[in-house]
């Protein structure tokens, strides 16, 4: 098997190999009788053609430019033993490397608003949007890391915008039509079906781009690199999702792609337009779906089982307990953990909510005042002030554990960010590492870990014992 470069065209037949030109090829000679398709087949074909014609002008290609700066020490000569030149011959240099990325997006408002994936534009110095008619614009970007959704504004109007469908009504088996720029091939449309709903996964767990996706639409419509940020449409031409990821051992399409539901995109878009940021409610518990055994044990067939509660959280203050089953919130039934997460996240911080729960097979009601995820993360994830090792840490909460793919009952301190090129990065500390000890001290909270880091002195080497998966690892970090 051989692979061809993206964009390389390989002719199906090499006419010159047999001495014929295209004009000499026989046409329909001695061929089989033509088939008359059923009207239903022709109708389906016409539907796909019409969707393409209606949506084509709303699809955009996106190019991101990212400059990565890094410091280097050089004595002007190659040193095969590493960078150990004498101090008087050593000089600092700063080098940079420009990386270009491509992705897709789609117009959602006629006045120049475009939706795409956050990972398409994350960290970019410049984002360029190319419209269907060839015009190019530099975009202003508003991002939401958690949902992997970004909103781009370009300075033009009277654009052709797509409509967002109600993704809660999407069913397995419906047609799915994906648009985008796979491998740089613009104006590409592929067709499949919705093959599953409510998929949950973590992507990018070893670097700072790790994201938790709690509710993805699965499709077998062909999605490839470059499709990210493009729309997944229904046969009415409405957006049901934003193409975000593929499951593939090869890096190419194998029939399993994922899209972020349009209802999530709509919620994020409205907040980014209205406030510039996305605020989410925070309860402070880890929910799980009920198993058949759980249903018998706790006396309810629906609801979200509470498996962990963070001390001092709204859930703790409200008196919720591990093994409570949340079956409703403000009168809205809760079928499982996904509904509970979704409702809490979309409820404004500071809102008082009434939770219907089962405890010891009895139905009770408790009230809780939701906290603010953004403020919680900001307070927990401030970088160390007195050192330059390049990490952010936070106390592990159920929500943070869920988003970072940790054990939902995990306790302690987790690395929430590692700055590329920093001492911590070079030493091998990774996103989602759980800190066990710092310089021989057991660590139990984010503030304590930050305090230990801030006390580190220039020129010393700090030792970190981290839990990575099921393995404890010793990492030595030089302090700059």
Interacting residues of 92 by C-beta distance below 8 A, sequence separation 6+: 71, 72, 73
CA–CA distance, 318 with 212 (Å, rounded to integer): 27
Per DSSP, 313 falls in state: S
CA–CA distance, 212 with 402 (Å, rounded to integer): 7
Residue 166 is encoded by which pair of tokens?
């109600």
Inter-residue contact 284 to 314 (CB < 8 Å): yes
CA–CA distance, 5 with 189 (Å, rounded to integer): 20
Inter-residue contact 99 to 66 (CB < 8 Å): yes
SS3 of 295, please? helix
188 bridge partner residues: 180
CA nearest neighbour of 297 among 324, 270, 274: 324
Interacting residues of 369 by C-beta distance below 8 A, sequence separation 6+: 314, 317, 318, 350, 351, 352, 353
Chain centroid to CA 191: 23
Q: Which residue has the tokens 């953004």?
A: 374
CA–CA distance, 361 with 478 (Å, rounded to integer): 55
Query: SS3 letters for 179-217?
Result: EECHHHCCCEEEEEEEEEEEEEEEECCCCCCCEEEEEEE
Catalytic residues, which ones? 119, 148, 228
Q: Phi and psi (nearest 5°) for 20?
A: -120, 150
285 bridge partner residues: 309
């Amino acid at each position: 098997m051989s692979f061809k470069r993206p964009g390389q065209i390989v002719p199906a037949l090499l006419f010159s190999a047999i001495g014929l030109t295209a004009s000499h090829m026989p046409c329909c000679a001695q061929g089989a009788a033509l088939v008359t398709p059923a009207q239903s087949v022709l109708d389906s074909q016409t539907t796909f053609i019409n969707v393409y014609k209606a949506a084509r002008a709303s699809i955009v290609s996106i190019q991101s430019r990212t400059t990565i700066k890094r410091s280097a020490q050089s004595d002007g000569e190659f040193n095969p033993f590493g960078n150990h030149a004498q101090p008087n011959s050593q000089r600092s240099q700063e080098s940079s490397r420009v990386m270009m990325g491509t992705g897709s997006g789609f117009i959602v408002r006629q006045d120049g608003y475009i939706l795409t994936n956050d990972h398409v534009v994350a960290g970019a110095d410049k984002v360029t949007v190319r419209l269907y008619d060839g015009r190019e614009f530099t975009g202003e970007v508003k991002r939401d890391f958690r949902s992997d959704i970004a909103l781009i504004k370009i300075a033009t109007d009277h654009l052709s915008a797509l409509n967002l469908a109600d993704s809660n009504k999407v069913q397995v088996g419906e047609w799915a039509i994906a648009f985008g720029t796979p491998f740089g091939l613009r104006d590409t449309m592929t067709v499949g079906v919705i093959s599953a709903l409510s998929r949950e996964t973590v992507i990018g767990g070893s670097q700072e781009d790790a994201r938790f996706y709690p509710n993805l639409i699965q499709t077998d419509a062909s999605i490839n690199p470059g499709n990210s940020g493009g729309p997944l449409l229904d046969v009415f031409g409405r957006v049901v999702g934003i193409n975000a990821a593929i499951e593939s051992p090869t890096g190419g399409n194998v029939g399993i792609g994922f899209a972020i539901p349009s209802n999530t995109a709509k919620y994020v878009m409205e907040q980014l337009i209205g406030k510039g940021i996305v605020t989410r409610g925070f309860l402070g518990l880890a929910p799980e779906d009920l198993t058949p055994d759980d249903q018998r044990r706790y006396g309810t067939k629906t609801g979200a089982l509470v498996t962990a509660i963070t001390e001092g959280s709204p859930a703790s203050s409200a008196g919720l307990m591990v093994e409570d089953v949340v079956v409703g919130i403000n009168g809205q039934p809760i079928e499982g953990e996904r509904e509970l997460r979704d409702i809490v996240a979309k409820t404004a911080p500071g809102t008082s909510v009434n939770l219907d729960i089962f405890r010891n097979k009895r139905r009770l009601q408790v009230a809780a005042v939701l906290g603010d995820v953004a403020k919680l993360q900001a307070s927990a994830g401030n970088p160390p002030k007195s050192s330059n090792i390049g990490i952010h840490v936070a106390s592990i909460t159920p929500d943070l554990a869920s988003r970072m793919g940790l054990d939902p009952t995990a306790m302690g301190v987790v690395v929430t960010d590692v700055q590329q090129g920093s001492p911590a990065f070079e030493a091998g500390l990774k996103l989602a590492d759980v800190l066990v000890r710092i310089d021989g001290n057991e660590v139990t909270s984010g503030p304590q870990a930050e305090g230990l880091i801030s006390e580190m002195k220039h020129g010393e080497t700090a030792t970190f014992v981290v839990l990575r998966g099921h393995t404890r690892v010793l990492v030595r970090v030089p302090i700059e």
